[in-house]
Structure 1
Amino acid sequence: MELGDAKKRCGDVIERIERLPGSTKITASCKRTLLKLARSELRFLSRVSSSSTSSTPPLSVNIGHLEAVVHILQHPFITGVSRVCKPIPLSPKTCFKHVHVDIVCTLNRNPVWILVSHRNPKYITWRNDESQTNQTKGLQFRIQQLTAAARSALSLKPSSLILFFSHGLSTILSDRLKHEFGATELQLGFPNFHFHFDLMEEAGDWINVLVATTSYQEACVFEIEVGDAVLSSDVKDSCPMPAKWEMLEDHTPFFPAFSSLISKMNLLSLDVKNTETANLLGDCHLVNFGTTALIALVSGISNGGTEKLLATPESELRQRFKGNYEFVIGQVMSEIQNPILVELSCSISGKRGIICESVHSEFKELVSMFGGPNEKLRASHLLKYLTVVPDSPSKRMMSLPTTRKLALKNKVVFGTGDYWRAPTVTANMAFVRAVSQVGMSLFTIEHRPRALTGD
């Protein structure tokens, strides 16, 4: 029965992995890694089952660990998962070549490394017996190794380490973590149980029964900060305040969706110079707009121009958009099915918008060259309610090599959002994929592209 239960747990984990949302939540390569590990466990258990005798067969010790990893990945505040259950290569200057980290991701807008322990607390030791020469298996050495690696990392550098003990941790070791490493206990709001649906026959009919599979009632989570300060004083002092919100009464009948979206943003006046960094990032959630997002917000396609475009003769549209005709028509059909302003409204509602200087100048230039009168009007209003910050890409972003896929201008835009711990709203998923391929976690919000139409 224990063997059958373990196999069933493997099947449940595989299903949960397959249901993990892709795109900016978790990369396809990370899902493949998890599925490979889970299926390997299932194959091992199947071999044990087929070759077992009357003696009790050994059970896999890894399924519980995988369950805990997937449990964390399902948390709503976990995004940008770029690496799972793999060692992280380190600089040749360090005394070890790599360290194992279970999850590299973004948690509450900050890049983190997560270490998962599924061990019984009774068998977790602070250090090995003093008489033993090998001291590499204790919790103390493991944390020392991780913190040293985190501080020396470049593009993968986290702001903190997150330690998840699925079966809890003894009071003695908890106190030592806090005293020696400055760890703080977190309350992330994880549910206590994982559930799956099972089938049961009742009176000739099959019914679904909700079954608790794993309990995490004893779980505890610790955070150890290792990163640099988020903002420097020069950036805070040079950051201008946004204008207070004024309803676009004169234009609301013409741009209702646009006005509604902007009115949902956090536009309260904030004195950045006299505000502590912690308050700026904690109380006021920021969102960093890339150029593609600004274009999408003001585009005629997004603001009621789809019918007009479809009613225009194809020859005229081909003359206007040249080789981009199919691209624009595809956006029109996409807009009819899923209006983008409604979609973006859910992502940016209650948040304060920022743009870096590079995006500000590029957006104004594009609208000046290709925007129509209404698009220019919307762009002018939009810029009033965004805070322009200096180009200030994070150190870890700038540590990435500049290549064709990792262009410098994109590193500046996304890196500025990373510096301010703000998700970047973008349609440039090619850059996001290129970053994820090097294992770096990046907090982004994807949107579908929209073009300026001359509206």
Structure 2
Amino acid sequence: MATHSMLQDRIRVAQDLLGRVEQLCNRQQRSVEGRAKLCSKLRAELKFLQKVEAGKVVIKESHLQSTNLTHLKAIVESAESLEDVVSVLHVFTYEGAGGQKQTLVVDVVANAGHTWVKAIGRKAEALHNIWQGRGQYGDKSVVRQAEDFLQASRQQTVQYSDPHIIFAFYNGVSSPMADRLGEMGISVRGDIVGVNSVAGADEGGAREEGSEEEDDEDGSCGEEEEGGRDEEGQGEEDEEDDGDEDDALHTRVDRATVVASLAFPTEVKVDVCKRANLDITTLITYVSSLSHGNCHLAFREQVLTEQAAQERQEKVLPRLEEFMQGKELFACQSAVHDFRVILDTLGGPGEKARAEQLLARLRVVADQPSERTQRLAPSSKVNRRSLTIFGTGDSLRAVTMTANSGFVRAAANQGVRYTVFIHQPRALTEGKEWRATPI
């Protein structure tokens, strides 16, 4: 009877979580990358539980306790607690200590990429025992996982700052572990619980071998047929299967003694880059007649008509001005030279006047592409001019403003991710207005 009641409760939780994930994009007022993957995992778990309910799968009660829902619920609650969530279950690739490519799953990426969250549903007792080297073979302590997160984050900077890492514990964390994570620079959220006795304990001990505590963190993006379970119905993450007998023998954690309870911050302060590097597409867009009110026209050129329609729907200049406000503005010599050539050929008098005003606000610097830029292989999207402009911005540790999203994607495909502000393009149109049709 107890098993049936527990099963019904798990099914209700899975259904509730699915509904909450569906609402996530509405709350964030944007598309959240990975939402479909999270829903898929929840549906797989629900499907498995419903098979158990129908008698198609027989499992032990302890296996029912090891449902993946604990971890999935922790992910959902973390996403609901943060602002500007970019993605969930995001797989990052980074270079490990031995130079080998490694993958890391970040449960929630928020605050426009500045915040990484690992949601942890396992009990404080189990986490503490694993940290002390008393876990099962293959268990990887949270402290070791924190080292992986720190190493990966240093290679995934956002506006030239390392993402801020939060470990969110939904079943508590021992005070010594929380202190160790804090020393490493990891923020801890959740209940910090006391330790009854530390006699003979090596508080810094951590296992040297093993994989992530959740099997899900193998970087796989595949769909699970049965929620990642084996034939006996064992959950892939085993979040709650902490072994009561083992806890009774080894645990030094007293979950009844809550030393502190740390909630997610209502506001996260981040280091925002105060430098902007303007590329040619941004210089043109800024001075374009389209961007300055002359967009109620149908041009003979289809691309210009489309840009005019886009401008009527969403003005681009206010976005540029807002981003540039308070920043030191740069442009490299190649960008300015080519911009002037285009301006002399196609620009109208108003566009040329605005160009002089804009260039007076900029600091023009010598071309100085960064070392990693020079390693990129040229292609149709990766040309020398773009390498020079984006590479100079990279050397300056500035955010490159651009409408050239093709280059950004092509460089990312080669493993180089630039810090960019992407906007819609606008062409120089003043010289073609005379033959355009007013709308």
Residues 447 and 116 (structure 1), Cα distance of their counterparts in 2 relative to 1, 3 Å cut: same
Question: Within the alignment, does 1:9 sit opposite 2:17 as a pair?
Answer: yes
Paired residue type of 2:332:
C
Residues 15 and 153 (structure 1), Cα distance of their counterparts in 2 relative to 1, 3 Å cut: closer
Contact 1:288/1:425, CA 8 A, preserved across alignment: yes
Question: Within the alignment, does 1:88 sit opposite 2:93 as a pair?
Answer: yes
Question: Within the alignment, does 1:354 sit opposite 2:362 as a pair?
Answer: no
Paired residue type of 1:11:
G
Paired residue type of 2:339:
F
Paired residue type of 2:98:
T
Match of 2:402 among 414, 426, 432: 426
Shift of 1:7: 1.6
Q: Tell me how far apart the structure 2 counterparts of residues 379 and 96 of structure 1 sit (CA, whole Å).
A: 48
2:429 match: secondary structure = coil
Match of 2:262 among 218, 227, 232: 218
2:44 match: secondary structure = helix
Match of 1:100 among 78, 82, 104: 104
Q: Tell me how far apart the structure 2 counterparts of residues 396 and 169 of structure 1 sit (CA, whole Å).
A: 40
Paired residue type of 2:382:
L
Unaligned runs of 5+ in 2: 1-8, 190-260, 432-439
Aligned pair count reads 338
Shift of 1:120: 4.0
Shift of 1:448: 1.9
- Deviations for 1:272-295, whole angstroms, at most 9, x for unmatched residues? xxxxxxxxx958733332211111
Shift of 1:150: 6.0
Contact 1:69/1:102, CA 8 A, preserved across alignment: no
Q: Hey, what does 2:41 align to over in structure 1?
A: 40
Residues 299 and 287 (structure 1), Cα distance of their counterparts in 2 relative to 1, 3 Å cut: same
- Deviations for 1:387-406, whole angstroms, at most 9, x for unmatched residues? 23444445555555443333
Contact 1:299/1:451, CA 8 A, preserved across alignment: yes
Residues 106 and 62 (structure 1), Cα distance of their counterparts in 2 relative to 1, 3 Å cut: closer
Shift of 1:298: 0.7
Q: Hey, what does 1:302 align to over in structure 2?
A: 291
Structure whose alpha-carbon radius of gyration is higher: 2
Q: Tell me how far apart the structure 2 counterparts of residues 133 and 5 of structure 1 sit (CA, whole Å).
A: 29
Shift of 1:173: 2.0
Contact 2:108/2:116, CA 8 A, preserved across alignment: yes
Match of 1:366 among 322, 334, 342: 342
Q: Hey, what does 1:213 align to over in structure 2?
A: none
- Deviations for 1:206-231, whole angstroms, at most 9, x for unmatched residues? xxxxxxxxxxx73469xxxxxxxxxx
- Deviations for 1:160-210, whole angstroms, at most 9, x for unmatched residues? 56233243644322322344x3x16499xxxxxxxxxxxxxxxxxxxxxxx
Q: Hey, what does 1:165 align to over in structure 2?
A: 168
Contact 2:178/2:188, CA 8 A, preserved across alignment: no
Paired residue type of 2:408:
V
Q: Tell me how far apart the structure 2 counterparts of residues 418 and 186 of structure 1 sit (CA, whole Å).
A: 32
- Deviations for 1:117-146, whole angstroms, at most 9, x for unmatched residues? 344444333854457795761123223444
Residues 138 and 443 (structure 1), Cα distance of their counterparts in 2 relative to 1, 3 Å cut: same
- Deviations for 1:264-323, whole angstroms, at most 9, x for unmatched residues? xxxxxxxxxxxxxxxxx958733332211111111122223345x55xxxxxx65xxxxx
Contact 2:83/2:110, CA 8 A, preserved across alignment: no
Paired residue type of 1:303:
H
2:276 match: secondary structure = strand
Residues 174 and 422 (structure 1), Cα distance of their counterparts in 2 relative to 1, 3 Å cut: farther
